[in-house]
Chains A and B, each alone.
Chain A
Amino acid sequence: MRQARQMITWSDDAILLTARPHGETSVIVEVFTPVHGRHAGVVRGGVSRKMSPHLQPGAQVAVAWSARLESHLGSFKLEPVRSRAAIAMSDRLALAGLNGVTALLAHVLPEREAHAPLYDRTLGLLDLLGQEELWPLAYLRWEQALLEEMGYGLDLSACAVRGVNEDLAFVSPKSGRAVSREAAGAWADRLLPLPPVLAGQGEASHTEILRALGTTGWFIENRLIKALGDRPIPVARARLLDAIARHAKG
């Protein structure tokens, strides 16, 4: 007699990253979970009036995934925990921020690989949405954490050449380590700027944060994303930087 194959199931907390229609009534979603990483699955009935408000990027949900085989796409049962759409939609910077974070995560996170510390950082960052004064700096710290988690962390504690920890003004694009102004010498124009705010010092004005995001952006684009197959950096990040620049101008 043929035995019924047991379904593989797990449950986890999650942040919804993307949702796209699948057929007439279902939606394929990608979520970021602490234990199972970035994971996709089908939500049956996802286009219904009851479900679709909960399937917005950035929403915090409890998911239960099931499939017959581990390699299958599988399906999600999804319980809403916290929606962030209303906060984001009423504020230009928050909307750009939410788009930037979810697009970047969907773009760079390897599938089905746990990144619990980054999940916690992301949750903390999303909880700050709508706090315009705090958010840009929190986002900069999150990008640094993202690089760290993906293996491209910046070491800004001391000069890579002389070992000193004073007058650090540049970052080496090759090693991701800090370089002092004196050690940089004639090589300065080949190095990336190290605004003090990137090393957790000095003024955290939006202009300085944007300079720092220029440096983290370089590593995301030229190291992290290039390693994933030379795809372009999500346009949502550029829109976020634009929104921060507008906010800085008032």
Chain B
Amino acid sequence: MSEMVLMKGNEAMSEAAIKCGCRYYFGYPITPQNEIAEYMAARMPQAGGFSLQAESEIAAINMVLGASAAGARVFTSSSSPGISLKTEGISYIAGSDLPCVIANVQRGGPGLGGIQPAQSDYHQATKAMGHGDMRLIVLAPNSVQEIAEHTVLAFDLADLYRTPVMILTDGALGQMMEPVDFGKLKINKPPEKTWAAAGHSDKRPPNIINSLYLDPKDLEAAVLERYKNKYNIIDEKEVRYEEFDTEDADIVIVSYGIVSRIAKVAVNMLKDKGVKAGYFRPVTLSPFPSGRLGEIAETAKRFLVSELNMGQMTDDVRLAAGCKKPVDFFGRTGGIITTPEEIYNAAAKVLEE
């Protein structure tokens, strides 16, 4: 049944979290994600859940750690500077094999930066979301509908792999309103969490949630195990992307999130001019669709990466393309959203070379 409503991306994310059984939210105010904390403060009590404004992003992520360790589906959100504060807790959550969902509604940086949309936390999200040998699953939706769907997916993946999952949006996706159909969401029941620390009732040995291994042999074994049974399987099974007309393309434009919608217009503008242009969009930024991009590099002539940053994904595309084909970059940063014309012009320029 259709449950179509008009909503901001931030609100759709919040409602989707509640719809898939998340009953705990811990956050801290920061623009442009405040609608999430506000929505949760209003809706969680109605849904029999609990929402708390913590004293800091650091406290919020550690409340998430506690709630997750206690077996709950739990959610937190922030924007770039606040995500930096959460990195400590995220590393502990990853090191303790706990599931949770974290949204980063990105704004410009570094430092206090600005409050307008950006994608300049790509490196942080995909490479450095905390200290140590660890990763997250990173989803990059590009519409309000997909934000809702990815939120459900994020909770399912988090529980399946016992890993933190990040939904990476930006100030534009978070703030813009679009129709969203919650009837389309596929809700799965979370798995039973026999590992949770919620009191053993004298029926089992104590469960210990821990990330400390003082003996290097033990720590190495734990990390190897996590790569083998988690990250490698995620790489194999959870890569998601979208593409069209990439085979034999003169140029493939690679972009994600809000920019992928702008890039789609640019690709069609190029086509109108007779250019064989293709479109590729990583839907999971981690795991990155390197395998498919490598295949495309066999037949496509070149790539143009476009992002709202200084080209942070470019290296990943170059590695995926195996240096077989040139990879150029065009982007805007600091909170400025690129236009289809700018991407078109950048593509036209490299094609002239």
Are A and B part of the same complex? no
Interface residues of B (CB under 8 A from A): none
